[in-house]
């Protein structure tokens, strides 16, 4: 019995330590996200040539409109090419794309991945570009997006992440997805930059020194989560990732629970895979070279996603509070007060990070679906086997209810 109590106590401490650290971590960066990052001075005045790379797999619903809109930029039209990377498109879609002033690269793979498509496109289009700007097949850039990204490059950065925002908030799940995106923008991008750490990449709306990107991507062969592998490799070599909060790119949010579940399962699988792959090197880089950026990113791979953190902290806090009031306190040895503190830290982190524009009755109604979103994510933890070994396509272009 004594052995059981010892094991139980150790598990309780481990659980509190894991979730406690995660809640304090997001609270810290959420607080700093309320401030402005120190601006770096412009060190050159150069207009770079951009390759706007837009890979798409069976994206016939949206790709033609996305290609048209991508051409509408304030930046000199001679200094950027829109490159549509077409994988498994219908012939009628390809015909429409050929009529536009874009570069069309048709690709076909036995097993399609975004990294393969990008690598093949750069092989085809050549090396006359200065910047590779990567978008998803549903992304719409704001009119001055490229101009603002170029300004960041004029400050000396080689990797820049734009601010991805919701294109649609037409369903409860779309609203939750939009809020989740903004929370991550606030904590892992804006908050990190205020403290001098690198912004997190997000898979689209991101730009790289072209030759730097091409050589780095040649060594990336991820099926899912290619941006995570790319980010870890960049940070390990000491590259700083900038975040431009006012450079907006609009992204379609998931509208249905099954799409939400598949997407999150893919993300969770990628996180665990990259943590296992980089955990030792993350610790080594921190101890031997003081590479906080890289170690911080490795930690993010094992930290709980925000919805899971909120849900599991609530459950643990509720159980400990219940034990303190109704049961023998010896059942759970850690005082409920500690879990109350963790819960308050988590709630405050969210409150600081959610933009004021989401404080509305519509959001309040969407929050009612939060338990369903939590359950879907929690169940995904038990379905991760093989999730990162096959390409899971998220269909776009079926926005309804607007």
Give the other-Cβ count within 10 Å of 259's Cβ: 18
Q: How many residues in the chain?
A: 402
For residues 238 and 220, what is the distance between their CA atoms, to the nearest angstrom?
17
Q: What is the pLDDT of residue 402?
A: 36
In the numeric block, which tokens belong to residue 155? 């400050």
Distances (CA, A) of 201 to 11, 208, 241, 326: 34, 11, 8, 46
For residues 396 and 137, what is the distance between their CA atoms, to the nearest angstrom?
8
Q: Domain residues of the chain, as ranges? A: 2-34+271-380, 50-258
pLDDT along the chain (402 residues), means of 10: 78 95 98 93 95 95 96 97 96 97 93 90 96 96 98 96 94 91 97 97 95 89 77 91 97 77 76 89 93 96 93 95 76 88 98 95 91 87 64 55 36
* 8 A C-beta contact, residue 202 and residue 136: no
Q: What is the pLDDT of residue 301?
A: 93
Q: What is the pLDDT of residue 333?
A: 81
Give the residue from 349, 19, 298 showing the smallest Cα distance to 184: 349
Helix pair 210-217, 226-236: axis angle to 10 deg: 110
Distances (CA, A) of 6 to 1, 3, 11: 9, 5, 9
* 8 A C-beta contact, residue 188 and residue 200: yes
In the numeric block, which tokens belong to residue 352? 């600081």
Classify 401 in phi/psi space as left (phi over 0), alpha (psi -120 to 50) or beta: left
List helix spans (H) across 237-291: 257-289
* 8 A C-beta contact, residue 249 and residue 169: no
Q: What is the pLDDT of residue 91?
A: 96
For residues 283 and 249, what is the distance between their CA atoms, to the nearest angstrom?
34
Residue 114: helix, strand or coil by DSSP?
Answer: helix
Q: What is the pLDDT of residue 96?
A: 97
Give the CATH architecture of domain 50-258: Alpha-Beta Complex (3.90)
Largest CA distance in the chain: 76
């Amino acid at each position: 019995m004594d052995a059981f109590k010892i094991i139980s106590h150790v598990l309780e401490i481990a659980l509190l330590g894991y979730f406690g650290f995660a809640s304090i971590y997001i609270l810290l960066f959420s607080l700093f996200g309320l401030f402005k990052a120190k601006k770096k001075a412009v060190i050159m005045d150069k207009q770079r040539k951009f390759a706007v790379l837009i890979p798409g797999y069976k994206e016939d619903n949206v790709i033609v409109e996305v290609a048209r809109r991508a051409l509408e930029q304030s930046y000199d039209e001679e200094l950027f090419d829109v490159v549509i990377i077409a994988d498994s498109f219908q012939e009628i879609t390809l015909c429409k794309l050929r009529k536009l002033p874009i570069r069309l690269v048709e690709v076909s793979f036995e097993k399609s991945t975004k990294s393969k498509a990008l690598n093949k496109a750069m092989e085809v289009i050549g090396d006359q570009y200065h910047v590779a700007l990567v978008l998803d097949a549903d992304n719409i850039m704001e009119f001055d997006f490229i101009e603002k990204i170029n300004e960041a490059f004029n400050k000396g950065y080689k990797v820049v992440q734009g601010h991805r925002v919701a294109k649609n908030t037409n369903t409860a799940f779309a609203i939750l997805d939009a809020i989740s995106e903004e929370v991550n923008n606030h904590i892992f991008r804006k908050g990190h930059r205020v403290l001098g750490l690198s912004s997190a990449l997000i898979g689209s709306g991101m730009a790289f020194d072209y030759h730097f990107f091409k050589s780095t991507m040649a060594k990336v062969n991820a099926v899912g989560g290619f941006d995570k592998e790319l980010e870890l490799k960049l940070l390990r070599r000491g590259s700083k990732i900038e975040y431009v909060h006012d450079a907006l790119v609009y992204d379609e949010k998931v509208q249905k629970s099954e799409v939400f579940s598949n997407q999150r399962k893919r993300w969770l699988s990628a996180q665990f895979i990259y943590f296992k792959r980089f955990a030792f090197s993350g610790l080594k880089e921190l101890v031997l070279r003081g590479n906080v950026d890289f170690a911080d990113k490795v930690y993010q791979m094992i930290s709980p996603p925000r919805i899971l953190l909120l849900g599991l902290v609530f459950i643990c806090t509720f159980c400990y509070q219940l034990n303190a009031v109704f049961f023998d306190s010896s059942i759970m040895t850690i005082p409920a007060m500690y879990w109350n503190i963790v819960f308050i830290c988590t709630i405050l982190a969210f409150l600081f990070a959610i933009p004021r524009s989401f404080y509305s009755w519509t959001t309040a109604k969407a929050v009612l679906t939060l338990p369903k979103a939590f359950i879907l994510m929690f169940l995904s933890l038990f379905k991760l086997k093989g999730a990162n070994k096959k390409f899971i396509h998220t269909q776009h272009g079926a926005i309804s209810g607007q």
